[in-house]
Amino acid sequence: MTNKFYKWEGLGNDFIILCAEPDENSSKLAKKVCNRHLGVGGDGLIYLFLRQGLLHMEIFNSDGTIANMCGNGIRCLAGEAHRLGLLNLRERTAVMTRSGLRYVTVEDSDPYKVTVDMGRAKIAVQHDKCVKVDVGNPHLVIFLDSEDELNSFTLMREGEILDKLEPGGINVEFAYPADKNIIKVRVWERGAGETKACGTGACAVTAAANYLNLCNERVDVQLPGGILSINLEDEHIFMCGSANLVFEGEFYE
């Protein structure tokens, strides 16, 4: 049995998109196709489908676990939905996720640039430099004092430990506010490990930094895979960034 897929990436965070509804085999399939040696390779498997005229997104991490939301993933899904004629250019469109409705706008298609209304952040400060933020999925944001700390070789090991200490796991962001307009970030994602970028992570970092008066309401978040522009407006977080189709093909189950 063959399956048509579309391989997309957003700032190096890469996904395999299937135009189908998930089923009982989806977790197993995600682990298989996301394997970078034995499969297509990706940080996650995304299902794109329509139900009663509404776009839906279901995403599985590379380890087979279910993710409630994914900022880079939803931009990629919006790009593919536009290619398939399911949404129009520059038209605000609702997408149902496990975290509720999110609204996407494909600003440009050559290359793809997508803005997402990510909704509101829920913030819980643990201490001055450590903040828990929920933006549809859970994040632990840790602020560092220097770029040298951010570039530390052992930093991601700490992220892995913190992820496993939280019941159900948690995404961990290490952030260095270079100034009020730029935040540099590295990410440990539950279910995927260190990734080039994390859209919800960039939103969580900005919300936490703004809460602590470390940044303005408009910020460029610099991740290893590139830059995401984050705008805080009327208590909502707006994320804008690229999405690119890498290739398409068929894989065998």
Rg (CA), the chain: 17
CA 241-244-249 angle, to 5 degrees, is 150
CB hemisphere CA count around 112 (13 angstroms): 26
- In the numeric block, the tokens 């990629």 are attached to 76
Q: How many helices (H) and strands (E) does the chain have?
A: 5, 17
The token pair at 93 is 């469109």
> Which sequence positions are flagged as catalytic?
70, 198
d(CA 90, CA 106): 5
Is 82 buried (19+), middle (13-18) or exposed (0-12) by CB count in 10 A? Answer: buried
Kindly list the distances between the CA atom of residue 220 and the CA atoms of 176, 180, 205, 212, in Å, as whole numbers in the listed order.
Answer: 12, 10, 11, 17
